[in-house]
Amino acid sequence: MSEKKNGYIYYEYKEQTEKEEIIKTAFSSFFHWMSGISSVLVLIFLVIMLFFRPVTVDGPSMEPTLHDGDRLLIYSFMYTPVNGDIIVARSPDGADMPVIKRVIAKAGQRVDIDYDSGTVYVDGVPLEENYISGMTKVPVNEIKYPYTVPEGHLFVMGDYRDESRDSRHATFGCIDENTVAGKAVYRFYPFSSMTEVK
């Protein structure tokens, strides 16, 4: 009777030890997994901070592509502007707030605009701009066309042409390439509109 009791106690102890080992292993695996996930998240955060910067759109000049209050990531590491890119740069008219505009032409390129047809020409070639919203108003103090973009500068415009102060205005002018902070690549807020920026 005693042996059975001792055997039963031994069996119960063994079963309890095995359960504890399973729980210990499960916790160990969980914490190891969480540690790995945390390391990956920290690495992703550092990469984002190194190569990208968050900015907020201020005003309606880039509608319908971007809206006032949109939060974007801009890519800045070794970035070189390309025609069609949406960039963030220091305002050429000395305003404190940076501007967000679309690159229309680069240094040496010739820009012309036909307001009757709402067409922009770069080096004589009409741009296909399915992203714009209206271009009927001729800006006050507009530059003379055809206009050749100066060396080291970018001719930029907002997508909402009738409500955008941009390189068409003589008092605004072209963007100095050295003041470009980066290219808008992703809208992360509002969450319902998260998308790549084009």
Q: 9-31 pLDDT, tens per residue?
A: 555 555 667 666 777 776 677 77
Q: pLDDT band for position 1 (50/70/90)?
A: very low
Give the C-alpha distances (Å, rounded to integers) separating 176 from 37, 51, 131, 162, 172. Answer: 42, 21, 24, 23, 11
Percent of the chain surpassing pLDDT 90: 64
Percent of the chain surpassing pLDDT 70: 88
Tokens of 138: 């001729």
Residues identified as active-site: 61, 101
Total H helices, total E strands in the chain:
1, 12
Q: pLDDT band for position 94 (50/70/90)?
A: confident
- Determine the average pLDDT of the residues in 65-69: 96
pTM passes above 0.75: yes
181 C-beta neighbours (distance < 10 Å), count:
17
| pLDDT of 35 | 77
Q: pLDDT band for position 6 (50/70/90)?
A: low
d(CA 93, CA 172): 5
Q: 106-161 pLDDT, tens per residue?
A: 999 999 999 999 999 999 999 999 999 888 889 888 999 999 999 999 999 999 99
